[in-house]
Structure 1
Amino acid sequence: MLGTMLKKKPKWVVYKILKSVRNLRQSMLNTYGRSNSDSWVLTTWTDEECKHIMQNCYKALPEGGKLIACEPVLPEYSDESHRTRALLEGDIFVMTIYRAKGKHRTEEQFRQLAISAGFPHFRAFHVDHFYTALEFQK
């Protein structure tokens, strides 16, 4: 199924992934309350704050439930590609405009955050040159 999805346009892939996710109606920072939809959520927080957000999501999810985040993901090694340049420029933007403590992360850094928050399963789907859909499963 994913192979077929990846042959389609990136927006379609994200739509299909997000369509299958149950809206938990939970606040990211608080286990109680209502949620809203936003992007770049994990990018603008420190590792400890991300861990806290993800732990609250983990608690709210049923067994087998998934948390989907669409975030910019840095490559492990930088190069001269347009993708790498755009991601590094985005990282600087986050650090200067949003929060000095916010940052872009590599796929491995997201994997380690998942483990520290209790998620045993993690997958990344590169949607386009900038965004990656991250799946954290309970």
Structure 2
Amino acid sequence: ERDPERGARVRRNARALGVPGLRVVEASSADALPSLPRPDAVFVGGGATASLLDACWSALAPGGRLVVHGVTVETELVLHDARRRHGGSMSRIAVEDLDVIGSLHGWRPARSIVQWSAEKPVLQEDSESDT
């Protein structure tokens, strides 16, 4: 996480949800990935580009999962291309918040979120060496 305030929020949420050992690295992905062990999971919450997804996919351990969210048409195109190349699934998630409409209430839609999720295949030679 490149934003220190969001990094602190991630730590608080992890502790509250029973994951006290979660390590949050405060840096851009491009700066952090080369110095980290191969991750089992990567989450990109926004700002996805083709080069970022390529770097994350390359760093991801076999059997690992990459999950990416986007809200713009441009990011959706990047995610569609990533799904075409690597497989996985895409979903569109819509969220609406209850809001006041005069003296009544109604649902106010937020931007839809497009999610791409894919698991990196385990190489055949890796699975054979485990048996």
TM-score, length-normalised on structure 2?
0.42
Higher relative strand content: 2
**Which structure would you say has the larger RCO, counting Cα contacts within 8 Å and 6 or more residues apart?**
1
Structure with max Cα Rg: 2
TM-score, length-normalised on structure 1?
0.40
Higher relative helix content: 1
